[in-house]
Structure 1
């Protein structure tokens, strides 16, 4: 029987706790300065070598970035992206054992207008980042998020993708680069002295109205991520870059994976968390920091004085239950503290994911989501969870009046076009005798339909992006390039239906 006064302290064995007084597990000589996890203690020099080698091995193993290729680094000012910038700068230095062979540039998206920062706070943040960028000697571009309102419609179109390279193309390109004296071009890259563009107050107000039209913080963060992605791709295309390097760490990707599952983005997980993402065709997204945890990055930045700038986001100082993103992040962080292999287990799972739907790189423009540019996952069988969700939503919108059940509300259905033009005349022709061909048939004017018909975006979006539209009070606040592309796809779909009887099916022979 247990006795309260008995002392068992001498019989219990204490578990070995990692200590920095141990020797480095690699060189076996210097005292360890960092304990990454149990049994992995590194001294200062070995930890730096381990950290840099991991980055170089990730790029060398995938062989996506070819020599002398222009790569745009998306730096947000956070620890992970600034660490990525430091690793690239280290690979370009004269003391590097094997120098990086691509031409890097930097881009920063100023999101202060969307997060409610004042003009003085935005200028102070930009000034701090400018000092960091100028110290690297690389060309940089500071782009305010307000420019997303003026983007062209080509952002939502995939560019011509590079043809598939043969198996030995990368090695041949490296040999050719080494034989030619091209290393001089990499070290003589001139830094572009570009001042940040002026932001008009009206554009900032329009951006704030767009973010404010979204009801929930979950949809706001999802919409902000989509707009940021469009602006990054447009900047890369405008400046002639073919690769866009993102600073997503292993911890961030683990949070994104569980968040995406909660938001119904299971079909896009392979592209959202993989090393490379070719959904945009000519611009390939690369995530070389996906093997690093936030703990490793924090150690590296602290030991080697890597500067970073804290920039508040939409979720800063909010409760854990404010959004799905914050709830997932808090859950993984607390679980990681007690079970150190949580993040790595989720990350290893993401490496094995493959999409079951049509690949976004081979899908046609009409089969892609209007927001995230992934292949649509809404074309499924009738007996599917997606269709059951739609049926439940339609039933919940039925209006019961006495014993009669009215039709569901048509909030997302296109309204009938209204035209003030007389019958048989097109309003766009101004009475000049020319019409669009629809007025004579009594179907109304095509131009009036384009102007008065509210865009029905839900059929053009994947399931997850439909949730953003569902949480918006009005889609009229969306940027013009999105609404224009939606109208263009609607017109092409309508035209295809009109001439469907003259088209050959995929299985029919032209003979």
Structure 2
């Protein structure tokens, strides 16, 4: 590469780009202006312990009250995952259900733990299950457990699975029975996400819950949004990353922690003397799948640009789809946009794939060859009308239809 002018560029950069200087924080709380600050958020907002806890609880309740979906005495299934977000969510719920709480929560939560930590051995998974039961019971909640592998192998056994809590050694074999083990990690992650969502809905219906709480935080939502765009699920962004996923007519999936970050919840747990459970994590290659790569991309950007996640979330909130779409994907239940006069990007890709793999008969005219390909394309389009573009790419990796 040409190096002419590099020195001049470096000297110019030093003049125009200022180095990051140490941030001078106020010693007093930005909220009450009286107490000494002990928590710093977003690199500049300093709060005292009392103001931080009050603001965090208000933020949680405000996210629920904004949409006014949950009514008094509604049953809510809460998906518990090991870590700070789930522990914070349990504490939010318990403190909100307290009789002395301001703007008391009036629904009935049920806690669900999904046994899907298959990188752990059987003894570690049994120990984890006992620790989860102990933590949930400390908040005086009812806990239900289910094996992810057993469910996807035979969903009809759901009533039996939520009562037995069996942990077996052949769970990985069960996953291979349902998900092609030769599939790419991107497709495996996508399939597991769809199956896990269906599991939550089925369990919610079994326990007659109208809503499901999931513990995704802001960085999870931002990563999912970019992953959806990369995987061809752009039309599903509003339901996959928004506050409410209402594609099922009976059960709505809500994300009450979507505006929180990990640092905020870690501080909250620390100030409330909560010790979240930890589990041995498997080392992940960030370049092994689209989902892992997007998580690394968003996380790295957030370090140097604290507004990255917020910007992505606000952009996603502005994206919406026509609510009157009647056609939905048979696999993910997401809406399939109506086809207009012009070919969509999905149709163009499918048409190019058909032409590239078609054996041309030069014994007929060009117009006849074009007409034959057009007829085949129309036939294939009719068959795939019930499957969205992204799901059509993972159908071959689902062994059990």
TM-score, normalised relative to structure 2:
0.82
Structure 1 partner of 2:271:
303
> Among residues 197, 204, 216, which one is paired with 1:248 in the alignment?
216
Pick aligned residue for 2:89 from 84, 87, 90: 84
* 2:339 is aligned with 1:335: no
Change (3 A) 1:309 1:14: closer
CA distance in 2, matches of 1:106, 1:245: 9
- Residues 462-502 of structure 1: CA distance to partner in whole angstroms, max 9, x if unpaired? 111122225x2xx4x22xxxx3xxxxxxxxxxxxxxxxxxx
User: Where in structure 2 are the equivalents of 1:141-220 lying within 5 Å?
Assistant: 141-145=144-148, 146-152=150-156, 196-199=164-167, 205-220=173-188
Q: CA deviation at 1:274?
A: 1.4
1:25–1:40: 8 Å Cα contact kept in structure 2? yes
Return 5+ residue gaps in structure 2 as ranges. 1-17, 364-368, 374-378
Match of 2:351 among 378, 382, 391: 391
Identify which of 126, 130, 145 aligns with 2:129: 126
Match of 2:394, SS state, is helix
Question: Which position in structure 2 is the counterpart of 1:487?
Answer: none
Match of 2:39? 34
- Which of these residues, 23, 26, 38, is aligned with residue 17 of structure 1? 23
Separation of aligned partners in 2, 1:393 and 1:311: 44
Structure 1's 384 and 459: CA in aligned 2 closer, same or farther, altered over 3 A? closer
- Answering whether residue 245 of structure 2 is matched by residue 277 of structure 1, we say yes
Larger radius of gyration: 1
Shift of 1:245: 1.1
Summarize deviations over 1:375-418 as a string: whole Å, max 9, x none. Answer: 224745452211110022223434699x9x9x99xxxxx9xxxx
Pair 1:61 & 2:66 matched: yes
| Compared CA separation, residues 356 and 18, structure 1 to 2 (3 A) | farther
The size of the alignment, in residue pairs, is 368
Q: Do 1:371 and 1:465's aligned partners in 2 also have CA atoms closer than 8 Å?
A: yes
Given the alignment of the two structures, is residue 323 of structure 1 paired with residue 283 of structure 2, yes or no?
A: no
Per the normalisation by structure 1, the TM-score is 0.66
Paired residues of 2:79 and 2:111 also in contact (CA < 8 A):
yes
More helix by share: 2
Secondary structure (helix, strand or coil) at the match of 1:105 reads strand
1: CA distance, partners of 2:283 / 2:143? 30
Partner in structure 1 of residue 77 of structure 2: 72
CA distance in 2: counterparts of 1:203 and 1:346, whole angstroms: 36
- The offset of 1:334, in angstroms, is 1.1
